[in-house]
Structure 1
Amino acid sequence: MDDEIRPPPLCPARRASSSSRPRHRRVQPQSSRCPLALGPVPAQKALTIADAHHISLRHLQQLLAEDDTSPAAWIRHRRLERCRLDLANPRLSARLIQGIAERWGFTNPTHFSRLFRGVYEIPPRNYRDPPP
């Protein structure tokens, strides 16, 4: 089931430098190495991610703050990335751009287009079908 929420595999951990206990490890929320997203859940919340990793919401916020981001910005970036992958997928070429955006939680097409253009420097339509 696509909308089923499953805990992701554990992320690469490293020893916390500030901890006096050598066994203490923490989650590294780096989108390139750690699948904090729980799969295709467009309305994902930071608390859901924290719960899946058995950490507090505040700890998740602190971990992401180390990378100068917030849970909301990180989730939004992951959703935009999933939209970008769907737009590039030839099997989804018949699906409307608005449908892809809505699948990943972007209900306002104008807002989605602005966010996409702001991150990828190209409108979603041009990304899917590059001008000749």
Structure 2
Amino acid sequence: VVEEFLAAATSGRTDRLVALLTDDVTAVSDGAGLARRLLRYRSRERVASFVRAGFTSTPAKRRLAGGSLAMHLARVNGTPAVVAVVGGRVVGTVAFEVRDGKVASLYGIAATGRLTRLDEAWQRRDPGVPVIDGW
């Protein structure tokens, strides 16, 4: 489901993304540390719009991240996740709660201070081949 979600999120087709979300989906993001409070989204359409915006590659996002991202599928805190990496350093992650073959919740973290432990754990493992390289 997470692979399908990632493909839909980066495809530019919102309808594909909405179809992968439960009716009561929620998304929470730390706003990459730029927001004063957590950002919360509810409803399939709002979550899909938020996700598409977040997974759309732009030169400004690459500059903010420090370069071109590689995205890996992984498990974070026991849940499926997408981990974004630049130069071997974790710059963000989205963890998923999957229910009945659909995404029920998403939790996005990109604030540098919140990624320290994840980055340390990432450095100790072989990440394998990214599912998206050069985003």
Instruction: Please say whether Structure 1 and Structure 2 have the same fold, judged by a TM-score greater than 0.5.
Output: no
TM-score range, shorter chain: under 0.3
Which has the larger share of helix?
1
**TM-score for the superposition, normalised by structure 2:** 0.23
Which has the larger share of strand?
2
